[in-house]
Structure 1
Amino acid sequence: MSEQQAASDVLVSFRGVQKSYDGESLIVKSLDLDIRRGEFLTMLGPSGSGKTTCLMMLAGFETPTHGEIRLGGQLLNNVPPHKRNIGMVFQNYALFPHMTVAENLAYPLSIRKMSKSDIEARVKKALDMVKLGSLANRYPGQMSGGQQQRVALARALVFEPQLVLMDEPLGALDKQLREHMQLEIKHIHETLGVTVVYVTHDQSEALTMSDRVAVFKDGIIQQIDAANVLYEKPVNSFVANFIGENNTLHGEVLAVEEGSAVVRLASGDTVKASAICVNRAGEPTSMSIRPERVRLNQYADACENRLSARLSEFIYFGDHVRLRLEVAGQHGFMVKVPVGELDSRWKVGDSLNVGWMSHDIRALDSAVVSH
């Protein structure tokens, strides 16, 4: 792809964007980010990490302290929200209670001075898309939370914006409905090809829905990648711990060679790992390994790294069981075992062998936890 093509493929760009509310502390620090046309990008991070502030600057409800935000090449910094042609979906739905569903959807079209027949056609199409065609004459107060959220979604899409922003839109729904709506939104995105920027602190939601996920911490994107890359190849200990379940083993690097590190644990055991954030002997490191990558007993025999462990707890999850182990003097080490591989003779207090391949464990930064 040529540079020109790559540039035309970008719908939104942040360049050197900073945001401070008090002139001193930066909520967003020198953000550079390109969002591609048609992609579903999720901004993920804990409270206060800057993700919602980025969304609000893109929507026009906040102004960058420094830097530029462009949409389709146009500088947005001084464009008011209602002139940005961006759809928005919030957690609290923000529907007009005195208007019917159809009137709520017609509102953004009528302020764009569309003809009555165009408005009717678009409202019908949008309601059919969210499977609410039969409820056009109801008022928001007569609908469930899930139905109201569908109306809010339809209203954000009805004027066919090039960009839709969603701020924790499913946060108020119960688990089952939330999971159902995640798939609905994903399918609507695939059908329409509209660009979506989605904000959440729910990592499973981010992994389920997104083409790419930007992981925020302290106003900085730590890593931006496809969900499977974030999960399998976190670039630092924050991402490893924030995305999915993770086991951490702390140690000191003994040697680094050709992308591999040998690490000594506090117990004296040594482990071979992929060297990600370590360069030389003597460095402290925290190593990351996913619970499903760990093998037990006879399954551990073929692994490069083998340690002994003590079984502390069984946690039953239906299709699999999680075992909490003490490994190398560290508690809370989790292993996922499919029900079919569980040995019925195992009991709390037993010694088990654990093992994993060196490419499945990543030697990251030392993860000094700051509070």
Structure 2
Amino acid sequence: MSTSERPGNRRGLAGKPGDFVEFIDIQKTYDGETLVVKNLNLSIRHGEFLTLLGPSGSGKTTSLMMLAGFEVPTQGRIELDGRRINDMAPHKRDIGMVFQNYALFPHMTVEENLAFPLQVRRMPRADIEQKVERALEMVQLSQMRKRRPAQLSGGQQQRVALARALVFDPKLILMDEPLGALDKQLREHMQIEIKHIHQKLDVTVVYVTHDQSEALTMSDRVAVFNDGVVQQLATPTDLYERPENAFVAQFIGESNKLRGVVSSQNGKECIVNVNGHGDVRAVPIRANGPGNKTTLSLRPERVRINPTDGVFTNQFDAQVEELIYLGDHTRARVSVLGTDDFVIKLPNAEGVPDLAPGSPIRIGWKPEDCRALDWS
């Protein structure tokens, strides 16, 4: 993560070339005491799909609502395409909005729902018909134009809501947990649909979700929120492979957590003593030198069982506690380094591992796959 993307760092007021949305020193409080959003400085590029990801109460939805105009910042300013929009009414911002509950007009047909935002803008009838037809084709609902929302499935209603947000050619689309009400299979299908539509259009998307896999699947970049602060802003690959702190490591995907004290450290590697049970070599990200506490983060799929001696500098004796078969992989919970909650993901591509609870095993991993982060 670059310096300009670290939590709390102030971005230049002019932003960078290509920046389309700017949150500049934004703070938000509802009661005058507790800050829901703290000193937010965030730039969003034109044509980018940016996801605001975080747990409930982290500030992500409040940030989206301030951009939409439904909430007003307590401090700071928001710019859209170079214009300050803090005091601009929502309907004048030229922003499309997709909500979790769809917000479709139940008494209108699909095509009437799509035509409504164009009629409000007083477009000629011929233009309205053309834009509605194009939007229907985009979401593959041309055959459903005469149906009302109650006659559609949840996925179809969500497509109508998406088409209505796109029909007037906004430069910016905001989506607030738009797939939260759908079942898992349909949600995953709609993720790909929305991603493909975004790739076809010259439109910027700001998407809010608490679903980590959804964020990783759809986004160009993800801003991870916690306690009103962006903890890390990065591509999905960087977030998963190179988390900057313990919160991001635990919130994005699954990660083993080992607590210890740094015994030695140089620029590229540190050695951490884990509760007196063994020394682990790791990459020092937030380790603060010898004698300081740190949290080691290690992805379960990076651990190997019964490795050849000498392959990994980190090798330890362990015992299998539990095995769960999950189709493409087996999840093994093992005891190692004083903890019995260490997880390994074992691929089943060449068959189910020949293990049983109580089995003694040897496990290992590369130092570069283990990150020494802040104490948590």
CA offset at residue 299 of structure 1? 5.0
Alignment partner of 2:42 out of 26, 30, 33:
33
Alignment partner of 1:247 out of 253, 256, 261:
256
CA offset at residue 86 of structure 1? 0.1
Q: Is the 8 A contact 1:213 1:227 kept in 2?
A: yes
Cα-to-partner distance string for 1:98-120 (whole Å, 9 max, x where unaligned): 11100100000011110000000
Q: Is the 8 A contact 2:315 2:364 kept in 1?
A: yes
Q: Is the 8 A contact 2:15 2:22 kept in 1?
A: no
CA offset at residue 268 of structure 1? 2.9
CA offset at residue 288 of structure 1? 0.2
Task: Report what 2:206 is aligned to.
Answer: 197
Alignment partner of 1:284 out of 278, 290, 293:
293
Cα-to-partner distance string for 1:116-167 (whole Å, 9 max, x where unaligned): 0000000000010000001111101111111000000000000000000000
- Aligned letter for 2:374? D
Alignment partner of 1:138 out of 143, 147, 150:
147
CA offset at residue 6 of structure 1? 6.9
Say yes or no: does 1:118 pair with 2:127. Answer: yes
Task: Report what 1:60 is aligned to.
Answer: 69
Question: Aligned partners of 1:165 and 1:340: how far apart in 2?
Answer: 40
Cα-to-partner distance string for 1:270-313 (whole Å, 9 max, x where unaligned): 01100000121111111000011101103575111001111011
Task: Report what 1:171 is aligned to.
Answer: 180
Instruction: Sort the Cα spacing of 1:248 and 1:4 in 2 relative to 1 into closer, same or farther, 3 A.
Output: closer
Question: Aligned partners of 1:232 and 1:320: how far apart in 2?
Answer: 20
- The within-5 A match list for 1:148-167 is 148-167=157-176
Q: Is the 8 A contact 2:155 2:182 kept in 1?
A: yes
Question: Aligned partners of 2:82 and 2:135: how far apart in 1?
Answer: 28
Task: Report what 1:92 is aligned to.
Answer: 101
Q: Is the 8 A contact 2:98 2:162 kept in 1?
A: yes
Question: Aligned partners of 1:265 and 1:316: how far apart in 2?
Answer: 29
Task: Report what 1:44 is aligned to.
Answer: 53
Task: Report what 2:360 is aligned to.
Answer: 351
Cα-to-partner distance string for 1:181-213 (whole Å, 9 max, x where unaligned): 000000000001310000000000000000000
Question: Aligned partners of 1:143 and 1:222: how far apart in 2?
Answer: 39
Superposition TM-score, scaled by structure 2 size? 0.95
Q: Is the 8 A contact 1:300 1:353 kept in 2?
A: no
Instruction: Sort the Cα spacing of 1:115 and 1:302 in 2 relative to 1 into closer, same or farther, 3 A.
Output: same
After alignment, is 293-302 or 33-42 more displaced?
A: 293-302
Question: Aligned partners of 1:87 and 1:298: how far apart in 2?
Answer: 53
Alignment partner of 2:227 out of 215, 218, 222:
218
CA offset at residue 345 of structure 1? 3.9
Question: Aligned partners of 2:374 and 2:353: how far apart in 1?
Answer: 38
Instruction: Sort the Cα spacing of 1:299 and 1:210 in 2 relative to 1 into closer, same or farther, 3 A.
Output: farther
SS of match in other structure, 1:298: coil
Instruction: Sort the Cα spacing of 1:22 and 1:117 in 2 relative to 1 into closer, same or farther, 3 A.
Output: same
Could you tell me which runs of 5 or more consecutive residues in structure 1 were left unpaired when the two chains were aligned: none
Identity of matched residues, %: 58
SS of match in other structure, 1:258: coil
Task: Report what 2:312 is aligned to.
Answer: 303
Alignment partner of 2:24 out of 2, 15, 25:
15
Question: Aligned partners of 1:131 and 1:11: how far apart in 2?
Answer: 29
Count of aligned pairs between the two proteins: 365
Cα-to-partner distance string for 1:23-60 (whole Å, 9 max, x where unaligned): 11100000000000000000000000000000000000
Say yes or no: does 1:258 pair with 2:267. Answer: yes
Instruction: Sort the Cα spacing of 1:310 and 1:177 in 2 relative to 1 into closer, same or farther, 3 A.
Output: same
Q: Is the 8 A contact 2:15 2:43 kept in 1?
A: no
Structure 1 vs Structure 2 CA RMSD: 1.5
Alignment partner of 2:280 out of 253, 271, 283:
271
SS of match in other structure, 1:54: helix
Question: Aligned partners of 2:260 and 2:339: how far apart in 1?
Answer: 11
Q: Is the 8 A contact 1:42 1:200 kept in 2?
A: yes
Q: Is the 8 A contact 1:300 1:356 kept in 2?
A: no
CA offset at residue 332 of structure 1? 1.5
After alignment, is 64-73 or 315-324 more displaced?
A: 315-324
Instruction: Sort the Cα spacing of 1:6 and 1:70 in 2 relative to 1 into closer, same or farther, 3 A.
Output: closer
- Aligned letter for 1:324? R
Question: Aligned partners of 2:55 and 2:34: how far apart in 1?
Answer: 18
Alignment partner of 2:325 out of 301, 316, 319:
316
Question: Aligned partners of 2:267 and 2:74: how far apart in 1?
Answer: 43
Q: Is the 8 A contact 2:307 2:363 kept in 1?
A: no
Alignment partner of 2:91 out of 61, 82, 90:
82
Q: Is the 8 A contact 1:288 1:363 kept in 2?
A: yes
